[in-house]
Amino acid sequence: MKIINQHYVDGQFRPSTGSEKMDIINPSDECLIGHVLLGNEQDMEAAIVAASAALPSFSQTSRVQRMDYLQQLHDALMERLDDLQEVTTTEYGATIQRSRWSNQYAAETFLYFKEILKDFSFERRIGQSVVSMVPVGVTGIMTAWNANSGSICVKLAAAIAAGCTVVIKPSEMSAMQSQVLAECFDRAGLPAGVINMVHGRGDILGTVLSTHPAVAKILFTGSTVVGKIIARNAVDTMKRVTLELSGKSPNIILDDADFDTAIPMAINAAFMNSGQACIAGTRLLVPEANLQEVKDILLKTMATQKVGDPRDGQTVIGPMASQKQFDRIQHYIRLGINEGAELLVGGLGKPEGLENGFYVKPTIFTGVSNEMTIAQEEIFGPVLSVITYKTEEEAIAIANDTIYGLHAYVSSSDMERAQRVAAQINAGRVAINTIYHDALAPFGGFKQSGLGREGGLYGLEEQLEPKVIIS
């Protein structure tokens, strides 16, 4: 039984002063595996004070010093990679392949920013002025539970590279993973107060972070609903915000695509991370004339998608993260059935033989119109809606008929045509014939999928303010 009752504040682990205890449940078998004592306003205040005190000195560190710190953070995570992988599978239910990749990616993020920092111009001459890019200040980091280490580290790396100090409020559902990360941050040996982490509820600690006058910047990954609350809270003190929010990503299969390649890739795009991904391609747009061919390949591909124990190397889809998430997905599957969508595979309930654990049946609906709830709202689970179109123009219109604009996918054998289609999709990223993630490119969304960008050069610049000296 793992007991987490400390927060990482001012370079040391301190007992929580909160009184609310939350159970930690293994999603694979629903067994109790630990408890976390959640922090309160006092714990968060202490973390903000520590970050504020460390800022004047840390903001003046040299480029070389911060590059060394980024290397130390990378090395500290790599030392604990096996532990991070283990806890990600145990607490979250990620497959072992996903756990390994996501935590290694988190560690490598620090090296990406170290490389960016090497040649970054902090001072630029424009007209008669010198523009200095200076650290924005104390940064609050708030993250979701579906990609804990990567989501934290891409934000932290940018802040450290810029010379900002941070207070991290990870999801309380990721307390075990976050605790190992905090131990890595401590091992990295940065000055006290530069990195702080407090476990707790978003409605309590997130409110403190997003309203506190000493916090200059908020970096948040989560739902659009919560992102709007954070933005409202932040505006009174004019905090800068970077919000990476919900998505309902279209995946357009053009009629000249290689269907035997594109459709299995579409399954991977939709069901990556067991479907618990903001970039999941959950709206599959296919030519009406090719619907039967698409159905046949979907069924054939789904026969290879093993659902089960995330520790089994053959498993592709593990359990959902929690009972709440399981119930949410059942709700949307029921809605799809009630709205008249055709169930190609999957459906309500748990897969046979997986009655213990938060497992769902990977579900594909055909006969979906883009007005249906399952085509408009983010489900955050392995549920795919197949929508047909008659013309390329109609496909683009359907793709853009959403309040979101985070990610999109296009498949075609004609790259020029694919690029023309991609240029017309309102999304922050469009992947052509791939589901590759480019860590150096900016990540973020259009419309209600967010504000600002994280990752790469653009992520670094989000942590800086331009200061002009005219002479």
Residues annotated as part of the active site:
244
The one-letter code for the residue type at 17 is T
Write phi, then psi, for 179 (nearest 5 degrees). Answer: -65, -40
CA gap 207, 230 in Å, rounded: 8
Tokens (6 digits) for 95: 């497959």
Contact 32, 23 (CB under 8 A): yes
Contact 140, 197 (CB under 8 A): no
Q: Which residues is 429 bridged to in the sheet?
A: 407
Residue with tokens 């707790």: 200
The one-letter code for the residue type at 242 is T
Output the CA–CA distances (angstroms, integers) from residue 268 to 83, 279, 314, in the order listed.
Answer: 27, 11, 15
